[in-house]
Amino acid sequence: MRLSEVQAYYISGTDPHQSEYMPDHWLNRPFISGFTGSAGIFVVTLGKAALWTDSRYFIQAAEELRGTGIELMKQRMPETPEPAQWLAGSLEKGDVVGTDYACLSVAQFNQLKDGLTDHGLSVKDTGDLLNELWAGRPRLPEEEIFEHDLQFAGSKRSDKIEDILKYVEINGANSTLLTALDDVAWAFNLRGKDVPYNPVFVSYGFISKDLKILFVDPVKINSELKGKLQEDRIEVRDYADFFVFIAGLSSDSIVMVDPSKTSQAALEGIPSAVKIVEQTSASTLLKAQKSTFEIIHIRETMKKDGVAMVGFLQWLDQNVGKITITEYDVVEKLNEFRSKQSDFQGDSFYPIVGLNANGAIVHRSVTPETAAEIKAKGVLLVDSGGQYLGGTTDITRTIALSEPSERLKRDFTLVLRGMIDLSMAQFPAGTVGCQLDGFARLPLWKNQLNYGHGTGHGVGYFLNVHEGPMSIRQEYNEHTIKPGMVMSNEPGLYREGEYGIRVENVIVCSEKDEVDFGRFLEFETLTLCPIDRRLIEPTLLNDGELKWLNAYHQRVFDELSPLLDEEQIQFLRKQTEPIV
Supply the minimum distance, in Å, between the C-beta of residue 469 and a copy of itself: 15
Residue 471 contacts by C-beta under 8 Å, 6 or more apart in sequence? 433, 454, 456, 457, 458, 477, 479, 487
d(CA 162, CA 165): 5
For a copy of itself, give the closer residue by CB, 299 or 473.
473
- Residue 361 or 424: the one with the smaller Cβ distance to a copy of itself is 424
DSSP designation for 72: E
Convert 115-125 to b/e letters by CB count within 10 Å (16 or more is b).
bbeebebebeb
Query: Closest separation between CB of residue 290 and a copy of itself, Å?
Result: 23
User: Is the CB of 298 or the CB of 425 nearer to a copy of itself?
Assistant: 425
Q: Is residue 113 classed as helix, strand or coil in its secondary structure? A: helix
Closest to a copy of itself by CB, 412 or 427: 427
Chain positions contacting a copy of itself, by CB under 8 A: 424-428, 430-432, 434-439, 441-442, 445-446, 448-450, 474, 476, 478, 495-496, 512-513, 515-518, 520, 542
In the bound complex, what is the minimum distance in angstroms from residue 171's beta carbon to a copy of itself? 13
Q: Which is nearer to a copy of itself, 365 or 474 (CB)?
A: 474
Rounded to an integer, what distance in angstroms lies between the CA atom of residue 42 and that of residue 9?
Answer: 8
Within 8 A by CB and 6+ apart from 231, the residues are none
Amino acid at 315: W
Nearer to a copy of itself, 125 or 522 (CB): 522
Q: What are phi and psi of 534, to 5 degrees?
A: -65, -20
Closest approach of a copy of itself to the CB of residue 494, in Å:
9
Q: Quick one: 357 or 449, whose CB is closer to a copy of itself?
A: 449
Give the nearer residue to a copy of itself in terms of CB position, either 184 or 425: 425
Q: Closest distance between a copy of itself and the C-beta of residue 424, in Å? A: 8
Cα–Cα distances (Å) from 331 to 10, 222, 305, 320, 367, in that order, read 36, 34, 15, 15, 9
CA distance 425 to 137: 50
Considering the complex, what minimum distance in angstroms separates the CB of residue 441 from a copy of itself? 8
Bridge pairing between strands 275-278 and 254-257: parallel
Specify the pairing of strand 456-458 against strand 467-472: antiparallel
Write down the least CB distance from residue 77 to a copy of itself, Å: 15
Cα–Cα dist 565/577, whole Å: 18
Smallest distance, a copy of itself to C-beta of residue 472, A? 11
DSSP 148-170: --HHHH-S-HHHHHHHHHHHHHH
Nearer to a copy of itself, 121 or 541 (CB): 541
CA dist 246 and 364 (Å) reads 41
Q: How far is the CB of 535 from a copy of itself (least distance, A)?
A: 20
Amino acid at the residue 371? A
